[in-house]
Amino acid sequence: MTLISTKAIPVRERLIMALDVPSIPEAQALVEELGDSVIFYKVGMELFMSGDYFGFIEWLKQQNKKVFVDLKFFDVPETVGRAIKALSSKGVDLATIHGNDAIMEAAAKSKGDLKVLAVTALTSLDRGDLDDLGFKCDVRDLVLSRAKRALQIGCDGIVSSGLEVSMIREELGQKLLVITPGIRPVDNRVDDDQKRVVSVEMAFENGADYIVVGRPIRDAADRKAMAEKIQAQILSQF
């Protein structure tokens, strides 16, 4: 049984570039440098703290880019619901939430056309980290439980390591969007803070709909060439 995504997503939109840079001007310069090699961008907490976050989102939309807001909303359910409702008016395509069923329910009810993604387990966490946080279950069991609850509650998808995507597809089929971070197209570096990583090919073979790539493009000598290399790797899967 093939696990390759069957969703009608343009192939070049399956790469999401993480704009993990310190300032809005640096982010804009990177987007301009990458040009048409990247269509979809993730904007997270670092840029949220650096300046005109929503002005930058508007600028991205003016460049005909798609936007993934990765702020992992986690608060009182009513507060999260209101935040998601406000975000849905900004033209954003994807957004992450965290937390329990009540938080997911509040977000699902308020999302409008915005697609809401529940975070399962961060790719920077390994078994020892989960023990420290009080999760005594296996990582795979935790991820699958979160995915099942997200689907039942009405979230559009999840964020999951590529290591668990095949399990999710085998259990839940193609019902959820699955966005996979922690992608390393080359050998993982010793100083990398991502612990549960996969290659581009493995992520899609396991059933990911989108991959999120940051550091391998951002730190490349030729960023656009690296983005195009990854796009070619994605195309080879479809």
Write out the catalytic residue numbers. Answer: 72
How far apart are the C-alpha atoms of 66 and 36, rounded to whole Å? 12
How far apart are the C-alpha atoms of 41 and 39, rounded to whole Å? 7
Bridge pairing between strands 40-43 and 157-159? unpaired
Bridge pairing between strands 66-73 and 94-97? parallel
How far apart are the C-alpha atoms of 190 and 198, rounded to whole Å? 15
Task: Answer left, alpha or beta for residue 52, where phi above 0 means left and psi between -120 and 50 means alpha.
Answer: beta
Task: Answer left, alpha or beta for residue 165, where phi above 0 means left and psi between -120 and 50 means alpha.
Answer: alpha
**Quick check: helix, strand or coil at residue 1?**
coil
